[in-house]
Structure 1
Amino acid sequence: MTAPAVSVLMPCYNAARYLPAAAGSVLSQTLTDFEVVAVDDGSTDGTKALLDGYAAKDPRVRVISRPNTGIVGALNDGLEQCRAPLVARMDADDVCHPDRLRRQVAFLRDNPECVAVGTFAVLFGAGGRVLDLQGEVTAHKDIVARVRRGAGGALLHASAMFRQDALRAVGGYRKEFAWVEDLDLYLRLADHGTFANLPRYFYGYRKHPGAVCRIRRTEQTARKERALAEDFARSGRSRPPALSREDRYRPADPALARDRQIVGLLARGAPRRAVVSAAKGVLRTPLRRAAWDVLALVSCRRPPAPHKVADLLDGPQLALPLAIAPATVGGNR
Structure 2
Amino acid sequence: MPCLSPGLIPREAVDSILAQPDCLELVIADGGSPDGSIGWFQELASREPRLRLVSEPDRGPADALQKALCRARGSLIGWLNVDDAYTPGALTRAVNALTDHPEWLMLYGEGEEFNRDTGLSQPYHTLPGSVGPGRFRSHSFICQPTVLFRRTMGLLLGEFDAQCGCAFDFDFWVRAFEAFPHRIGYLPHLQCRNPLQSATISRPQQAEVALENTEPLACHFGRTGVTCLQNIALDLQLGMAELPESDGCVSYLRELADQKRHWLTPDDFVNLQRTLLEQEILRPTQTQCVRWQPMNFYQRVAELVPFQQRPFGVNLIGHAFEVFGIGEELRMAARALQAAGLPCCVIYHAAANGSACSDRSLEPLLCTDPTGGPYAFNLVCMAAPIQARWLQESGCDPLRERYTLTNWPWETLQWPEAWLPLLQVADELWPFSRFTGKALEAPAVEAGRPLQVMPSAAEIPDPERFCSAPARAAARLRHGLPAEAVLFGYGFDLNSTAIRKNPMAALEAFQLAFPLPHLPATFGRECNVHPLSEHVALLIKTFPPQGFSAEWHWLQARAAEDSRIVLIAESLPREELLALYGCCDVFLSLHRSEGFGRGMAEALQLGVDVIATDFGGNTDFCSGPLAHPVRYRPAPIPRGAYPCADGHSWAEPDLEHAAELCRAVAARRLALAADPHAVDPSRNPAVLASYRERFSFAVVGGRYRARLEELWADREGVGARLRWRGDRSPVGW
TM-score (norm 1): 0.67
- Give how far 1:46 is off: 3.8
Q: Which amino acid aligns with 2:2?
A: P
1:266 aligns with 2:630: no
Cα deviation digits, residues 27-55 of structure 1 (max 9, x gap): 111325x1111111223474421111221
1:279 aligns with 2:658: yes
Cα deviation digits, residues 117-147 of structure 1 (max 9, x gap): 122122222336132122532x312263422
> Among 20, 27, 45, which residue is 2:11 paired with?
20
Structure 2 CA distance for partners of 1:163 and 1:59, relative to 1, 3 Å: same
Q: Report if aligned partners of 1:122, 1:130 keep a CA contact under 8 Å in 2.
A: no
1:141 aligns with 2:138: no
- Give how far 1:172 is off: 2.1
1:198 aligns with 2:496: no
Output the CA distance in 2 between the equivalents of 1:65 and 1:216: 25
> Among 164, 173, 180, which residue is 2:160 paired with?
173
Output the CA distance in 2 between the equivalents of 1:278 and 1:255: 26
2:212 aligned residue:
223
2:21 aligned residue:
30
Q: Report if aligned partners of 1:126, 1:206 keep a CA contact under 8 Å in 2.
A: yes
1:232 aligns with 2:221: yes
Output the CA distance in 1 between the equivalents of 2:552 and 2:31: 41
- Give how far 1:90 is off: 1.2
Q: Report if aligned partners of 2:45, 2:53 keep a CA contact under 8 Å in 1.
A: yes
Query: Percent identity, aligned pairs only?
Result: 21
Output the CA distance in 2 between the equivalents of 1:168 and 1:136: 26
Q: Report if aligned partners of 1:124, 1:131 keep a CA contact under 8 Å in 2.
A: yes
- Give how far 1:217 is off: 4.0
1:102 aligns with 2:92: yes
Q: Which amino acid aligns with 1:266?
A: R
Q: Which amino acid aligns with 1:191?
A: E
Structure 2 CA distance for partners of 1:209 and 1:63, relative to 1, 3 Å: closer
Output the CA distance in 2 between the equivalents of 1:216 and 1:260: 35
- Give how far 1:277 is off: 11
Q: Which amino acid aligns with 1:36?
A: L
1:116 aligned residue:
106
Q: CA RMSD in A?
A: 3.8
Output the CA distance in 1 between the equivalents of 2:131 and 2:590: 19
1:302 aligned residue:
none
Higher-Rg member (1/2): 2
1:59 aligns with 2:32: no
Q: Which amino acid aligns with 1:25?
A: S
Q: Report if aligned partners of 1:213, 1:220 keep a CA contact under 8 Å in 2.
A: no
Structure 2 CA distance for partners of 1:260 and 1:218, relative to 1, 3 Å: farther
Output the CA distance in 2 between the equivalents of 1:240 and 1:125: 29
Output the CA distance in 2 between the equivalents of 1:115 and 1:135: 22
Query: Residue 173 of structure 2 aligns to a residue in which SS?
Result: helix
- Give how far 1:240 is off: 7.1
Output the CA distance in 2 between the equivalents of 1:275 and 1:50: 35
Cα deviation digits, residues 203-254 of structure 1 (max 9, x gap): 1112337664842344334433321122124xxxx977757869xx987216
Which 10-residue stretch deviates more, 41-50 or 89-98? 41-50
Q: Report if aligned partners of 1:55, 1:61 keep a CA contact under 8 Å in 2.
A: yes
Query: Residue 178 of structure 2 aligns to a residue in which SS?
Result: coil
Q: Which amino acid aligns with 2:164?
A: F
Which 10-residue stretch deviates more, 68-77 or 255-264? 255-264
Q: Report if aligned partners of 2:59, 2:162 keep a CA contact under 8 Å in 1.
A: no
1:317 aligned residue:
none
Structure 2 CA distance for partners of 1:259 and 1:224, relative to 1, 3 Å: farther
Cα deviation digits, residues 46-101 of structure 1 (max 9, x gap): 44211112211111111110125321111111111111111011121222122111
Q: Report if aligned partners of 1:118, 1:159 keep a CA contact under 8 Å in 2.
A: yes
Q: Which amino acid aligns with 2:551?
A: D
1:207 aligned residue:
196
Structure 2 CA distance for partners of 1:54 and 1:165, relative to 1, 3 Å: same
Structure 2 CA distance for partners of 1:170 and 1:133, relative to 1, 3 Å: same
Q: Which amino acid aligns with 1:203?
A: C
> Among 539, 551, 556, which residue is 1:253 paired with?
551
1:157 aligns with 2:144: yes
Output the CA distance in 2 between the equivalents of 1:122 and 1:22: 14
Output the CA distance in 2 between the equivalents of 1:200 and 1:27: 20
Q: Report if aligned partners of 2:83, 2:199 keep a CA contact under 8 Å in 1.
A: no
Which fold has the larger relative contact order, with Cα–Cα distance below 8 Å and residues 6 or more apart in sequence? 1
Output the CA distance in 2 between the equivalents of 1:187 and 1:209: 22
Gaps of at least 5 residues in structure 2 are 235-497, 500-548, 556-588, 594-612, 616-631, 637-648, 663-733
